[in-house]
Structure 1
Amino acid sequence: MDSRAVITARTGTPPGTAVPVLPACWREELPGVLGELAEAWRDPAAWSGMTRAGGVDLPGSVAAVVAADELVVHGWDLARATGLEYVPDPAALRASYGFLREAAQDAGRGGGIFGAVVSVPEGAPLLERAIGLSGRDPAWTPPSP
C-alpha cells in the first residue's frame, strides 16, 4: 500500500468503523510516532486551515485540541492500567479539560465518543476533573491479579 493510501486510511476512517491492526512492535514505535506528532504541531501552519481526522473535516486549531485531549486521556488510560505515575504536559491538560468541559455540555452525550460524565469534586486536581469529564472514573484501578 502506498503512503497516500495509508494516510487516507488513518484520516478518513470514522471511529468505530474498523479496529486498527497494531504491529507487534507498537510499543517500540510509539515514542517515535509521538515525537513526529509533537514536531508536526510545532509548525504554526498546522494550526490553521482545515484538516481531516477520523473521517471528519475540522479546523487545524480544533484538531490540535483534539490531539492534546487524545494524548492526555489515553496517556492516563495507559498509565493507570500499567500502574505507572502520570503527569501530563500542563498546557495539554488545560486544553484537554477545556475541550472535555465543552463536550460535557452536549445534551445528547450519553454515548458516542465519551461516556457519561463521572462526578468529581470541583476542588480535585485538574487531571482528575478532566478524566471524569471523559467518562472515566479517576479512582479506577485495574483488578488485582
Structure 2
Amino acid sequence: TEKVIAKYRPLVDAVIAKYLSRLEGNTVMLYVGGLRPRHVVTAYEDLGMVIVGTGYEFAHSDDYQRTGHYVKNGTLIYDDVTGYELEKFIEGIRPNLVGSGIKEKYPVQKMGIPFRQMHSWDYSGPYHGYDGFAIFARDVDL
C-alpha cells in the first residue's frame, strides 16, 4: 500500500498545485446517492474547497453517523429533500458549485450556479483512483 501511495504522490501533488490557487475557499453543496455524499468530500477538500452541504437520496441512519466524521461542524446534512427544498437550500447558501444528478442540473444552472453532475460525470470522468483525481480536479474547475 505504501509503495502505491509513494508512486502516485507526485501526480496528486502536481494536480493540487495546478488547481489549488483557483479552487481554494470555493464552497460546494452535494446531493447524490450511495456513498458519494461522504466519500468525495476529501477530494474536494484536497483541492481547498469547502463542503457546506451534503445529503442523500436513500440512506440509513449509519450513513449519517459516518458522514458526520467526514464533514466539518456546521455543514448542512440533508435527507431525501424534494427539488423545491434543495433549491431553497441552494438559494440560501449560494455555493460556488453544486454536485448532484441530472434532475438537479438544469434548475441549478438556471440559478446561475456552476454544476457538476456526479452520477454520469457529464460525460467526462471517471473520477476513480489517482488518475481519476486529475480528471475530477479539471472538471470542478468551472
Scaled by the length of structure 2, what TM-score is found? 0.22
| Between structures 1 and 2, the one with greater strand share | 2
Asked which structure has the greater RCO (Cα within 8 Å, sep 6+), the reply is: 2
Structure showing greater Rg? 1
